[in-house]
Amino acid sequence: MSVRRLAEKQPSAFAFTAENLAWAKAQIAKYPLGRQRSAVIPLLWRAQQQCGGWLPQKAIEAVADMLGMAKIRALEVATFYTMFNLEPVGRFHVQLCGTTPCMLRGSEELKKALRRLIGKENRVSADGAFLWTEVECLGACVNAPMVQINADYYEDLTPETLTRIINDLSAGRTPKPGPQIDRCNSAPIGGESTLLDPSLYLGERRHPGEPLTDAEGKKSGEAANVHEAPMPRPPIANAPDPTRN
Amino acid sequence: MTKLIIDGKEIEVPPEYTVLQACEAAGAEIPRFCFHERLSIAGNCRMCLVELVGSPKPVASCAWGVRDCRPGPKGEPPEIKTRSPMVRKAREGVMEFLLINHPLDCPICDQGGECDLQDQAMAYGVDQSRFRENKRAVEDKYIGALVKTVMTRCIHCTRCIRFAAEVAGVPELGAIGRGEDMEITTYLEEAMTSELQGNVVDLCPVGALTSKPYAFSARPWELNKSESIDVMDALGSAIRIDTRGREVMRILPRVNGDINEEWISDKTRHVVDGLRMQRLDQPYLRENGRLRAASWSEAFAAIAGKLARANPKRVGALVGDLAAVEEVFALKDLMTRLGVVNFDCRQDGPMLDPRWGRASYIFNATIAGIDIADALLIVGANPRKEAAVLNARIRKRWRAAKNFPIGVIGPKMSLTYSYDYLGAGPETLSSIARHSFADALRQAERPLVLVGAQSLARPDGAAIAAFAAKAAVDLGAIKEGWNGFSVLHSAASRVGALDLGFVPGEGGLNAREMAAFGTLDVVFLLGADEIDIAPGAFAVYIGTHGDRGAARADVVLPGAAYPEKSAIYVNTEGRVQMATRASFPPGDAREDWAILRALSDVLGKRLPYDSLAVLRAALYQSYPHFRRNGAIAPGDAADVRRLAERGGALDKAPFREGVGDFYFTNPIARASMVMAECSALAQGRPAMKAAQ
């Protein structure tokens, strides 16, 4: 994270569209009288969506005026939350998760790919289509590594799949969001792998032996230090070939 | 009451106390940065950590209620330790974190020597840093003409933000960004607009916000500190004047809970450079239309020559806004000895008359009384401009109360609280009893009717005063133990001069008549700059600055400005306060009473006092209430009732704004470059850069 400032080039005016204005009024009406300022985050978010993914100064001021709050109060909110973008983000804002799980699963490789495909971080690409940013955890660790492009998650990425997605987007195609490998959402790769014994579901199984008493305590056996299976290979290399699907 | 054991000492405190307040009540000193008695609790600096026995972690005492302390296992009172090793370690840890990003620039920091962080680092700091990374650096912000920022020094206590939002009521400061990148700023670095913005400098516990006009001019330990009274408005705020040698370096507030709490307005604080500029340091005499430097004896001889030929009926005296009681007393004494009856202290012309009784012209409810008032009617006043600190007091009351109805009659204005706008002119005042807002006043236990003295400065002023008093009486503002009829003056000299009866005697002319063409041959102007004296009269100006009065004068006698004399002032409440001398008048200038005394000798009407002490003795003899420093001689509620019955014919003209430019209300302020810059900013003109 770094110091965030308003963009240098700013549009000269901002006004909510009629539809967004009606929506905003409905949001404001949710809050009791005198607490309209509570609607600042939804309104800023809507303004950001309307402006193509970023918040111009005039939009922040318009929201502040609408809610009867000091402009600095709205600016505080807009600069506090990093999901409010204060600079234009291109048509496709690629947010790459770089937090630990994604990093372990190869987000560094994705970063290199993005540098090659789009350019430097936080710069809109020459054609105005893309901007990429490294962000903190986006909560899709099971499907790491991943990126968020505008509203969609693209998960289980490799540099190759990411390249294909970016190329599709710049060619005007719509890539399929979600996991880019053969899995459904966060289900195990290659199908279910645990709790497969059908007898589990018959309600007949009992725990073998008597339950432990407090006095006995639970001690780890010798097996605790023994690896049953060999250490897994690095995850990216282990993934199925993305070109297959 | 709740029992606590603090550092082994048992103490009982009210249950709504915080642990910090309880510790202070027990005599323990708690270090703090973000906590401030008159601001909301933030709890973000963590310096006030104490050990609450039984709690696994130290607690921030400023944000921890006494109610929330658990008793001991056997029902003993909760125990708090403020000096245990755990507390010490915790505070040292906090201090180390604070110092990680704080620059080591104390030698070039204006806060040095009066810095909370410096002082507390002496107690809790360690002498070396374990921090090997880069320190954070923050861009400095422009937040106005009065506050200089060095934001790298900021420790994010947010006192300034809370002050702007809560006390000043102009939420202009904020914290943008987050975490390490949090920065205090105004919106896009616009200048602050509050008249109280200078106070954030006092609040800042480090050197992040310092006084811009005072930057790099002195160190606190070089300064002589004198307790004084402010004269920029009629509140008589308690101030401390810091001087180095004979030069006034800065003005700071003193705590006075009855008047200004601990705030002062920007005009009070930053008028300092006006005390240096445009000063009159020797007498001047007009010859062939031009003023030339003269000696005292020449000047006195010229006055004596004019007076000898003048009929006392065609001699007059006017007192300006900054005059102290002593010189007004001496002037009145001298004029009376000369047989003059034309004198007036109301140069802007409010129709208030001391003959109506003291209650008719003072702020009877008292400033501290605002805290217990429960409804407010403002008649023809803009408290924000006429008395910015009082306005903050009204705002404080408005914020604290669930329901504090405020009605305004007069021009629409931007106050720092919401109000019901009742009407623009006197006809609303005369029919206030039938207005729906009147019910709010009637239901109130202690309604306050605040009348702006400047709104009485019109031909029907006496009738307006009468109708305002009638409103106060009719709406229940005058009752046993409460007198809510309150006149807000804007001139520091006014109440004192009215107490002295410095108004036209039998058959005398008032200020407006004296200023008119052809009524006077000789006119004495004691610092009267806000009035245009028509050509013709021989004007003797006794004052401090080369301002309007001196420009009109035929003889200029240089006097002493308020830091340069020990003097008595009476504030709008009628509170008598004595200011001490902090510095000396420049050049040949003398204290005003001494000038009058010397002049009286030349005129052959020697005033019988050779020293200030003798003058004061004579003053106390004639007006005993001046003897009681700090006290108010209360007005008689019957005076207000009598005033209410006077009635009169009202004009239909609406009230107009009394103070045009907040930053230019008196000759000292008009001489100040800093005030000029503030005024330009306030009016949206491009600001001339003040000399820093």
* Residue B179 sits at the chain A interface (C-beta within 8 Å): yes
User: What would the DSSP string read from start to end of B198-222?
Assistant: THHHHH-SSSSEEESTTTTS--GGG
The CATH number of whichever domain residue A100 belongs to comes to 3.40.30.10
The alpha carbon of residue B531 and the mean position of all alpha carbons in its chain are separated, in whole angstroms, by 23
Number of C-beta neighbours around residue B355 at 10 A: 10
Residues A68 and A106 grouped into a single domain: no
- Rounded to an integer, the average pLDDT of B431-455 is 92
Q: Flag if B188 and A73 touch (Cβ within 8 Å).
A: no
How far A145 CA lies from chain B's nearest CA (Å)? 27
A-chain residue closest to B189, CA distance: A72
Instruction: Give the residue carrying structure tokens 């109000």.
Output: B419
Residues A119 and A50 grouped into a single domain: no
Which of these, B494, B264, B254, lies nearest to B392 by C-alpha position? B264
Q: Flag if A70 and B178 touch (Cβ within 8 Å).
A: no
Q: Flag if B174 and A76 touch (Cβ within 8 Å).
A: yes
Residues A130 and A171 grouped into a single domain: yes
| Domain C-terminal end among A126, A153, A179 | A179
User: Is residue A121 in a domain?
Assistant: yes
Q: Coil, helix or strand for B318?
A: strand
Q: What is the CA radius of gyration of chain B?
A: 28
Residues A106 and A68 grouped into a single domain: no
Partners of A152 in the beta sheet? A149
Which of these, B365, B438, B368, lies nearest to B396 by C-alpha position? B368
User: Is residue A71 in a domain?
Assistant: yes
A-chain residue closest to B185, CA distance: A72
Q: Flag if A2 and B181 touch (Cβ within 8 Å).
A: yes
Number of C-beta neighbours around residue B12 at 10 A: 12
* Residue B178 sits at the chain A interface (C-beta within 8 Å): yes
d(CA B119, CA B74): 40
Instruction: Give the residue carrying structure tokens 């339950």.
Output: A211
A237 or B244, greater pLDDT: B244
Nearest beta carbon to residue B174 from set A1, A2, A75:
A75
Render pLDDT for B95-123 as a digit per residue (tens, 0 to 9).
999 999 999 999 999 999 999 999 999 99
User: Is residue A158 in a domain?
Assistant: yes
Mean pLDDT of chain B: 93
Q: Which H helix or E strand runs over A22? A: helix A18-29
Residues A120 and A67 grouped into a single domain: no
A residues 107-136 closer than 8 Å to B (CB): none
A-chain residue closest to B172, CA distance: A72
Residues A45 and A117 grouped into a single domain: no
Instruction: Give the residue carrying structure tokens 């000396």.
Output: B584
Spell out which residues of chain B touch residue A79, defining contact as CB-CB under 8 Å.
176-178
User: Is residue A205 in a domain?
Assistant: no
* pLDDT at residue B576 in the model: 96
Residue ranges making up the domain that contains A54 = 18-80
Mean pLDDT of chain A: 88
Number of C-beta neighbours around residue B108 at 10 A: 10
Which of these, B692, B677, B572, lies nearest to B197 by C-alpha position? B677
Nearest beta carbon to residue A73 from set B171, B179, B183:
B171
* pLDDT at residue B71 in the model: 87
The CATH number of whichever domain residue A60 belongs to comes to 1.10.10.1590
Residues A67 and A98 grouped into a single domain: no
Instruction: Give the residue carrying structure tokens 């008048």.
Output: B585
* pLDDT at residue B686 in the model: 59
Task: Place B326 in a pLDDT band, splitting at 50, 70 and 90.
Answer: very high
- Quick check: B270 and B210 in contact, CB under 8 A? no
Q: Is A121 left (phi over 0), alpha (psi -120 to 50) or beta?
A: beta
- Quick check: A40 and A67 in contact, CB under 8 A? yes
pLDDT over 60 (residue B10): yes
* pLDDT at residue B690 in the model: 43
A192 or B369, greater pLDDT: B369
* pLDDT at residue A234 in the model: 55
User: Is residue A104 in a domain?
Assistant: yes
* pLDDT at residue A207 in the model: 64
pLDDT over 70 (residue B514): yes
Question: Structure tokens of A50?
Answer: 């309307």
pLDDT over 50 (residue B691): no
d(CA B177, CA B634): 53
Instruction: Give the residue carrying structure tokens 């239901």.
Output: B443
Residues A76 and A98 grouped into a single domain: no
Number of C-beta neighbours around residue B683 at 10 A: 10
Q: Flag if B177 and A71 touch (Cβ within 8 Å).
A: no
User: Is residue A232 in a domain?
Assistant: no
d(CA B174, CA B195): 18
| Domain C-terminal end among A159, A179, A199 | A179
- Rounded to an integer, the average pLDDT of A130-147 is 94
What secondary structure letter does DSSP report for B545?
Answer: B
* pLDDT at residue A205 in the model: 64
| Domain C-terminal end among A156, A179, A202 | A179
Instruction: Give the residue carrying structure tokens 């923050």.
Output: B138
How far A86 CA lies from chain B's nearest CA (Å)? 12
Which residues, other chains included, contact B431 with Cβ-Cβ below 8 Å and sequence gap of 6+?
none
Question: Structure tokens of B344?
Answer: 């007036």
Q: Flag if A76 and B172 touch (Cβ within 8 Å).
A: no
d(CA B369, CA B134): 53
User: Is residue A219 in a domain?
Assistant: no
Which of these, B221, B149, B208, B138, lies nearest to B176 by C-alpha position? B138
Spell out which residues of chain B touch residue A72, defining contact as CB-CB under 8 Å.
171-174, 176, 185-187
* pLDDT at residue A123 in the model: 92
Question: Structure tokens of A95?
Answer: 């947010």
d(CA B456, CA B445): 27
* pLDDT at residue A227 in the model: 66
Residues A156 and A130 grouped into a single domain: yes
User: Is residue A36 in a domain?
Assistant: yes
ipTM: 0.89
Instruction: Give the residue carrying structure tokens 């000898």.
Output: B308
Residues A74 and A114 grouped into a single domain: no
- Give the count of domains, chain A: 2
Instruction: Give the residue carrying structure tokens 């002032």.
Output: B569
Query: B345, exposed or middle or buried, with CB in 10 Å at 0-12, 13-18, 19+?
Result: buried
How far B651 CA lies from chain A's nearest CA (Å)? 38
Question: Structure tokens of A21?
Answer: 């204005």
Task: Place A235 in a pLDDT band, splitting at 50, 70 and 90.
Answer: low
Q: Flag if B188 and A1 touch (Cβ within 8 Å).
A: no
Which residues, other chains included, contact B320 with Cβ-Cβ below 8 Å and sequence gap of 6+?
B347, B491, B493, B525, B526, B527, B528, B529, B530, B543, B549, B666, B667
Which of these, B627, B647, B319, lies nearest to B501 by C-alpha position? B319
Percent of chain A with pLDDT over 90: 70
Q: Flag if B175 and A76 touch (Cβ within 8 Å).
A: yes
Torsion of CA A150, A156, A158, A159, to 10 degrees: 10
A residues 27-56 closer than 8 Å to B (CB): none
Quote the Cα angle for B277-B280-B283, to 5°. 165
Percent of chain B with pLDDT over 70: 99
Render pLDDT for B150-159 as a digit per residue (tens, 0 to 9).
999 999 999 9
Render pLDDT for A6-16 as a digit per residue (tens, 0 to 9).
999 999 999 99
B-chain residue closest to A77, CA distance: B176
Q: Flag if B179 and A1 touch (Cβ within 8 Å).
A: yes
Instruction: Give the residue carrying structure tokens 């995850």.
Output: A235
Residues A99 and A153 grouped into a single domain: yes
* Residue A7 sits at the chain B interface (C-beta within 8 Å): no
Nearest beta carbon to residue B176 from set A1, A57, A79:
A79
Residues A173 and A111 grouped into a single domain: yes
